[in-house]
Amino acid sequence: MMNSLRKLASCVILDLDGTLVNTDGIVSEVLKVYLVKYQKKWDGREVQKIIGKTPIEAAAAIVEDYGLPLSKEDLLSEISPMFSDQWCKLKALPGAYRLIKHLTGHGVQMALASNSPREGIEEKISYHPTWKESFTAIVAGDEVKAGKPSPEIFLEAAKRLSIEPSKCLVIEDSLPGVAAAKAADMEVVAVPSLPKQSHLYTAADEVINSLLDLRPEKWGLPPFKDWIDGTLPLEPWHIGGPVIKGYGRGSKVLGIPTANLSVEGYASVLSEHPAGVYFGWAKLSTRGFYKMVMSIGWNPYFNNTEKTIEPWLLHKFDEDFYGEELHLVIVGYIRPEANFPSLESLIAKIHEDGKIAENALELPLYAKYKDETYFHSIKLAHNHH
């Protein structure tokens, strides 16, 4: 029903920082180090104030909030080289490569529109082969009079694509970016880069949890064809550790026996994956392999700055396995985190997730990872990091 109201898009304009690449982590790291010079301690919440702003506005906010004894221009010129040294560590966000490859493959024109200066954009995307040539146009913050939330960057991008603004679909992670896209009369899908913020994005035409959840067909663009039986295959990744006494939060409330896994040393791995429901293979050191579905969520106890995982081994165990090493290989994605109207509907959904995982893991595509040598090799790889 909604679809008929949506405008159809003929091109896609992408923001860069926080939308395609994970800039926030690097920004925090650099500022943490820099502020020590002034005996100040970086507060992670500050990121919310600078996301999506132009570099000079972000610098102004930091100077003011930390009472630094220098001008915003001086701060910017001191930290810019520090950022440059770090851009090689910038990771693509989940689903970024998949989206760019998909749109390129279907001949959908794309532009990159960012508040960052041209030089910074070029440097950041140079670490991601194929990206640069995928964009018909790149518009930078230093090529326009005013950055986002002014619509100028987006209007310029549409002009360079020779496509009317109302036929452009924008994908953005920040509030200034969403405001700019709407002011340019474009449709916009928001992928908020901060947890638990989606209620602030009311101006967006749609809010999604991560790029993995984008459904281009809603905007008249070619649909992804890579979903299989309700699952999206991922590049497998691994997490492991001892099972600690006590259950995951899910167990008591939901009657679903989730393992309480100590994820020390895996915080950075977890930070790279969107909150949601995943599945794969679990291996208990003394008992072998089990099918597994798990949720990644934000831990409310840590002000939503840390992620937690709850793996559910799809097997009836007669006894506890505290202290045993549990290794998980995550091979696919099922759905984003969602809010449920009632406990019953949540429990029903989790059982449905379990069935989807149970069936999908029979497919050769996923079944092949239930493999002793493979588990051994990834374990070694992690220990060498």
Question: Catalytic residues, which ones?
Answer: 15, 17, 310
Q: Tell me the two tokens of residue 15.
A: 């923001």
Helix-helix angle 23-36:72-86, to 10 degrees: 120
Instruction: Name the residue type at position 105.
Output: G
The pair phi, psi for residue 351, each rounded to 5°, is: -65, -35
Q: Omega into 149 within 30° of 0, i.e. cis? A: yes
The Cα 46–Cα 30 span in angstroms is 13
Q: What is the DSSP letter of 227?
A: -
Element (H, E) at 271: helix 267-271
The Cα 272–Cα 161 span in angstroms is 32
Q: Tell me the two tokens of residue 29.
A: 């790291």
Scored b (16 or more CB within 10 A) or e, 66-97 reads bebeeebeebbeebeeebeeebeebebbbbbb
The Cα 333–Cα 214 span in angstroms is 13
The Cα 340–Cα 257 span in angstroms is 20
User: In the block, which residue shows the tokens 């220990």?
Assistant: 383
Give the other-Cβ count within 10 Å of 15's Cβ.
30
Q: Tell me the two tokens of residue 247.
A: 């259950």
Burial class of residue 64 in the structure, from the number of CB atoms within 10 Å of its CB (0-12 exposed, 13-18 middle, 19+ buried): exposed
User: In the block, which residue shows the tokens 């518009």?
Assistant: 139
The Cα 282–Cα 140 span in angstroms is 45
